[in-house]
A and B are shown apart, each in its own frame.
Chain A
Amino acid sequence: MTIFLASVGFGLVTASVLAVAAIGFTLQFGVTDVLNLAYGAVMIAGAYLAYVVNQAGLNIWVGLVVAVVACSAGSVLLNSGIYTPFQRRGATPITMVIVSLGMTLIIEFGTQAIAGGTSVSYTMAQGPSVRAGGLVLTTVQLVVIGLSVLVMLGTHILLRYTRLGKAMRATAANRTLARNCGIRTSRVITLTWAITGGLCGLAGVIFAMDAGSFDATSTDLFLILILAATFLGGPGQAYGAMLGAVVIGLATEISAAYITPSYKYVVAFVALLLVLGLRPTGLLGARA
């Protein structure tokens, strides 16, 4: 029972990190139509930037803010400098995925070239542990969960109650129609990259906090969890990504407690392949 509760605790933290990452990823894909596989690479670049700030003697939470801003700006640049020009030329979705895979190598191994191949960790206090029932969570873990809940709430408010959110949904549903209705879609898309890029940076830093130590290739496997959560909930569906993140996060950590930890990704992988093969629109997506 204690193992189970402990793994639920880990699962909640993983699910929280995953939710932030998957919401960003799925909105990016839904609104801008780019399946940006470089998302994991941008995450880890943000995590490194926070590390650099942290090493300079500043608090890691300052590093987190720097990473969010930098990843937001970087994602906007990535879109306007690379993806949009390719899309304007009429590149097929498959070409876009190959371009994003090329960008993955450039960003991920560019980070590695600068940072070196060794693992690093943030200098930070974990804070006192909090016990609730059988769950034991550190203050940092609680903050991570709190941040994630805030992001989910913020996403909900953004999509339901703001003009920008409605414009994003309209652009996702039909870009041409949205433009014809007077929505400035190119501005909506740029803002979407800024928002999702910020989420990506946030996800990168809290991922690194959760992982303890990380190197430039750490998000290779985490990207699989993001993809699994995204496709489980239906690609482009923000609420689906939240649901997918909770399911995948808990499933991986609980399975890790009972099988070998090195196989914990298998659950996510099986879920992903089943969804792709049986119901490509995901659990919350429209039926094909």
Chain B
Amino acid sequence: MNSYYIINLLIYAAVDAMACLGLNQQFGVAGVTNFGFIIFQAAGGYTAAILAMPDQSANGGFQTYIGGWNLPFPIPWIGAAVVGGLISLPFTFLVGRRLRGDFAAVGLLVTAVLLNLLVTNYRPLLNGSAGLSLIPQPLQGEYNPQSSGYQWTLTAIAIVVCAVVYLFVRRITESPYGRSLRAMRDNDVVADSLGKNLFSLRSAMLVTGGAIAGLSGGILVSYITTWSPAAWGYAETVVLFAAVIIGGAGNHLGAILGAVLVPVGFEEVTRYIPTSNNLPPNLIPSLEWVAIGLLIVIFLWVRPQGILPERKRVIRAGAAVVPPTAAAPPLPEPPVLESAAPEPAAPESAAPESAVRPVSEPPGDREIVLEAVDVSKEFGGVRAVDGVSFTVRRGTLTGLIGPNGAGKSTLLAMLAGTLSVSGGTIYYQGRDVTHLPAYRRARLGLVRTFQLASEFKRLTVMENLLTAVPDNRGDSFRGAMAGPRYWRGDEAAAIARAEALLERFGLDGLANSYAGDLSGGQRRLVEIMRALMAEPRVLLLDEPMAGVHPNLARRIGNELVSLCAEGLTVLMVEHELAIMDEFCDPVVAMAEGAVLAEGTMAELRSRSEVVEAYLVG
């Protein structure tokens, strides 16, 4: 146990921990599966090398490379992080809304294999398969890199940088922005429908993780002074994935633990395996890879949450009142008291005046807020929706009925932007929104719910509600970076609104349960409350009462009626005709992709074609 051994161990641990933190931020927190993660560490390593090295002519031509700028510390490290981030940009086109996550992961994996192949074979760029060596260490002109003082200092700096990276990713993850990332991880289509820009969130994570990976690569080459394609085969990414999965995806301390257990641990354990001439060559390294594969599969089966599972974010009732700490400057008074006040205030906080005005004129005379003109949708050769035109007027609770396969859910999805139209136009508040993506429509107040359970499973009920809140100052990368002091006021207001809503729907006791642990009916409630938290002007509900106890369904109906009286507009798909009778006016009847009739439920019952298509069945 000499000091060289310990220094080596500590530096590798710090570098691997940094890489795992970056990967965990992408994979564990945001659900972006980057199978090409090692590319970004490699890019950082090469960048730091060519920034620090002298021109290639200085070393007698035994290695060739581009650059060679001989720049002083810490520019190579900064450059490594910057390039690691920049090189992520071309990959953002893979992680948008269109491509399945596993396909994008395959694309990144293939890229990693190919880039390694290219760098290996193209010598003028980065000296090919031999790689770069004699990479200058930081400040080696001023100090003696061989001295133990220098080595210990470098180690300490690496550990400090790792700690800074930890604080950085924790700051992102524990902010409202981090909550949006976790929501996207749990269900990206739903996050999209609540106004989250998936492309921007995923791109930000690719760049953030890439910069962290690049920095880790830069630090590593400064210590080992060589860097070659053999150090960053595609399988190294798998090792980091194994570390994150074993440590605990979504938990940054788990990522650090995983880094110590897997990459560092494997390196150390194999050191103690006696080398014997009787063993075939390659046996031990081969078995190491087999062991990594086994660890991944076994952990995913036995303990998928990892050794240190993702922490539950408990928000206690009344926690909205944040006592100013001694260090913090006085905070703006969180607007808690008004919202926490009894009943009359609560409905307003659920549907603020800014979004809606109470309405008094009869339904038929009110302004049109949502209009479909000749909208159609084809799947393969099937016309699921065939030239539908209808209008929804402000403050109404419009019902949409029809037999199975009538195209109701498809229509709803097109109105919300979850599905694109095959033809026709959609107007929302007089504006053509036909080609506006779902998240933009949600931000304009056109919010939908889903027919199938769509809660964010690994977020608590409270977090599910908070995710939907628009305009939280902390719900952006910059806001998250500005820190809790910047967004605490908005957060407190949102918590107060959520608490009022939970109380109103009788779920306040479950605020801190994971949404994935609730019963079916409770999940529907969470979904409706979450949609209301998004401050909708028009709410599109897809069978909100399905699987809900009749008493509760009635209560939901009454709540919706009172929200409509305050100016909210609701379009609701529902099969339960009793609900339609009681709450909805007007009702639109669809069959086989087209609108059959429109009117009050009583009128529809008197029309034979509607009765034939639907009511009798």
Do A and B come from the same complex?
yes
Residues of A within 8 A of B (CB): 35, 37, 82, 85-86, 91, 93-99, 101-106, 108-110, 112-113, 116-117, 216, 220-221, 224, 227-228, 231, 235, 260, 262-263, 265-266, 269, 272-273, 276-277, 280, 286, 288
Q: A103-B293, A116-B282, A263-B118 are in contact. Are A276 and B103 (CB under 8 A)?
A: yes
The reply to whether B300 and A98 form a contact with Cβ atoms under 8 Å apart is yes
Whether A117 touches B106, Cβ cut-off 8 Å, given contacts A99-B296, A99-B297, is: no
Q: Which of B117, B235, B245 contacts A105 (CB 8 A)?
A: B235
List of B residues within 8 angstroms of A231 by Cβ: 103
B297 pairs with A94, CB closer than 8 A: no
Q: Which residues of A contact B286 (CB under 8 A)?
A: 109-110, 112-113, 117, 216
Q: With A94-B102, A105-B238, A266-B118 known to touch, is A110 a contact of B290 (CB < 8 Å)? A: yes
Q: A113-B282, A117-B286, A280-B103 are in contact. List 12 more A-B contacts (CB 8 A).
A: A94-B102, A98-B33, A102-B296, A106-B297, A109-B287, A113-B287, A116-B281, A235-B103, A263-B118, A272-B107, A273-B111, A280-B99
Instruction: Please state if B290 and A109 are interface contacts (CB–CB under 8 Å).
Output: yes
Q: B281's closest neighbor in chain A, by CB?
A: A117
Q: Mark B376-417, 1 if CB is under 8 A from A, else 0.
A: 000010000000000000000000000000000000000000
Question: Complex: how many Å from CA A221 to CA B115?
Answer: 12
Distance of B410 from chain A, by nearest CB (Å): 15
Contact A105 B98 (CB under 8 A): no
Interface membership of chain B positions 68-104, coded 1 if the CB is closer than 8 angstroms to chain A and 0 otherwise: 0000000000000000000000000110001111111
Known: A98-B300, A116-B280, A227-B110. A109 touches B293 (CB 8 A): yes
Q: Report B1-51 residues with CB < 8 Å from chain A CB.
A: 31, 33, 35
Contact A273/B107 with A116-B281, A266-B118 known, Cβ cut-off 8 Å: yes
**A105–B289 contact, CB under 8 A?**
yes
A residues in contact with B241, CB < 8 Å: 98, 101
Chain B: minimal CB distance from A43 (Å): 16
Set of chain B residues within 8 Å of A228, measured between Cβ atoms: 110
Which A residues are in CB contact (< 8 Å) with B102?
35, 93-94, 96-97
Binary CB contact string for chain B from 423 to 467 against chain A (1 if under 8 A, 0 otherwise): 000000000000000000000000000000000000000000000
Q: Which residues of A contact B118 (CB under 8 A)?
A: 263, 266
Alpha-carbon distance between A103 and B242 when the two chains are bound, in angstroms: 13
A98 lies within 8 A of B289 (CB): no
Partner of A262, one of B33, B117, B235: B117
In contact, A272 and B121 (Cβ under 8 angstroms): no
Tell whether, in the assembled complex, residue A269 and residue B105 are in contact, meaning their CB atoms are under 8 Å apart. Answer: no
B106 CB contact (under 8 Å) in A35, A85, A99, A220: A35
Chain B residues, Cβ within 8 Å of A110: 286, 290
A227 touches B106 (CB 8 A): yes
B113 at the binding interface (Cβ < 8 Å): yes
> A113 is contacted by which of B93, B238, B290, B380 (Cβ under 8 Å)?
B290
Please tell me if the beta carbons of A94 and B33 are within 8 angstroms of each other in the complex: yes
The yes or no answer to B326 lying at the interface (CB within 8 A) is no
Q: Does B164 contact A (CB under 8 A)?
A: no
Q: Which residues from chain A contact B290 at a C-beta distance below 8 Å?
A: 105-106, 109-110, 113
Q: Which chain A positions have C-beta within 8 A of B33? A: 94, 97-98
Q: Is B292 an interface residue (CB 8 A)?
A: yes
Q: Does B317 touch A at the CB level, under 8 Å?
A: no
Q: Count of A-B contacts with CB under 8 A? A: 133
Asked if residues B300 and A99 are in contact (CB atoms below 8 Å), the reply is: yes
In the complex, the chain B residue whose C-beta lies closest to that of A93 is B102
Would you call A104 and B113 a contact (CB within 8 A)?
Answer: no
A101→B114 CA distance, assembly (Å): 17
- State the Cβ distance, B299 to closest chain A Cβ, in Å: 9
What is the size, in residues, of chain B's interface with A at 8 Å between Cβ atoms? Answer: 48
Q: Are B297 and A82 in contact (CB under 8 A)?
A: yes
Q: Closest B-chain residue to A260, C-beta based? A: B121
| CB neighbours of A288 from chain B (8 A) | 98
Report Cα–Cα, A24/B113, bound state, in Å.
22
Hey, which chain A residues are within 8 Å of B380, CB to CB?
A: 286
Query: Could you list 24 examples of A-B contacts with CB < 8 Å?
Result: A37-B106, A37-B109, A82-B297, A93-B100, A93-B102, A94-B101, A97-B33, A98-B300, A99-B297, A102-B293, A105-B290, A106-B294, A109-B286, A109-B287, A113-B290, A221-B117, A224-B110, A262-B121, A263-B121, A269-B110, A272-B107, A272-B110, A276-B94, A276-B103
Q: Does B301 contact A (CB under 8 A)?
A: yes
Chain B residues with CB under 8 A of A113? 282-283, 286-287, 290
Residues of B within 8 A of A220 (CB): 113, 234
Q: How far is the CA of A150 from the CA of B424 in the complex (A)?
A: 48
What separation, in Å, do the CA atoms of A273 and B36 have in the docked complex?
13
Q: How far is the CA of A288 from the CA of B297 in the complex (A)?
A: 32
Which residues does chain A contribute within 8 Å of B110, judged by CB atoms? Answer: 224, 227-228, 269, 272-273
Which residues 270-307 in B have Cβ within 8 Å of A in the complex? 280-283, 286-290, 292-297, 300-301, 304
B101: chain A residues at CB < 8 Å are: 93-94
Query: Which residues in window 112-138 of B have CB below 8 A to A?
Result: 113-114, 117-118, 121
Is B105 touching A94 in the complex (CB atoms < 8 A)?
Answer: yes
Contacts of A85 in B (CB 8 A): 301
A94 to B241: give the CA distance in the assembly, Å: 12
Instruction: Please name all residues of chain A whose beta carbon is closer than 8 Å to the beta carbon of B282 when the two chains form the complex.
Output: 112-113, 116-117
B147 to nearest A CB, angstroms? 39
Give chain B residues whose Cβ lies under 8 Å from the Cβ of A37: 106, 109
**In the complex with contacts A96-B102, A227-B110, A260-B121, A109-B297 CB distance below 8 A:** no
Selected from A94, A105, A277, the residue in CB contact (under 8 A) with B93 is A277
- Closest beta carbon of chain A to B138's beta carbon, Å: 35
Closest to A35 in B: B102
Would you call A276 and B281 a contact (CB within 8 A)? no
Q: In the complex, are the beta carbons of B296 and A98 less than 8 A apart? A: yes
CB distance from A28 to the nearest CB of B (A): 14
Chain A residue numbers with a CB within 8 Å of B93 are 277
Q: How far is the CA of A104 from the CA of B106 in the complex (A)?
A: 14
Bound-state CA distance A250–B282 (Å) is 35
**Smallest CB separation, B268 vs chain A (Å):** 20
- Asked if A280 and B100 make an inter-chain contact with CB atoms under 8 angstroms apart, the answer reads yes
A94 to chain B: which residues have CB within 8 Å? 31, 33, 101-102, 105
Chain A residue with minimal CB distance to B284?
A: A113
Bound together, the chains give a CA A266 to CA B290 distance in angstroms of 29
| Least Cβ–Cβ distance between A272 and chain B, in angstroms | 6
Q: Complex: how many Å from CA A248 to CA B111?
A: 17
Nearest Cβ in chain B — how far from A120, in angstroms?
Answer: 13
A103 to B100, CA, bound (A): 21
**Contact partners of A112 in chain B: CB under 8 A:** 282, 286, 289
CB distance from B110 to the nearest CB of A (A): 5
The reply to whether A101 and B296 form a contact with Cβ atoms under 8 Å apart is: yes
Chain B neighbourhood of A286, CB < 8 A = 380
Q: Which B residues touch A97, using CB under 8 A?
A: 33, 102, 105-106
* With known contacts A86-B300, A105-B292, A276–B235 Cβ distance under 8 A: no
Task: Collect the chain A residues with CB atoms within 8 Å of residue B99's CB.
Answer: 276-277, 280
Bound state CA distance, A265 and B98, in angstroms? 26
From the candidates B114, B234, B304, name the one contacting A266 in the complex (CB within 8 A): B114
The one of B100, B104, B293 in contact with A104, judged by C-beta atoms closer than 8 angstroms, is B293
Interface string of B241-276 (1 = CB under 8 A from A): 110010000000000000000000000000000000
Inter-chain CA distance A108–B287, complex, in Å, is: 10
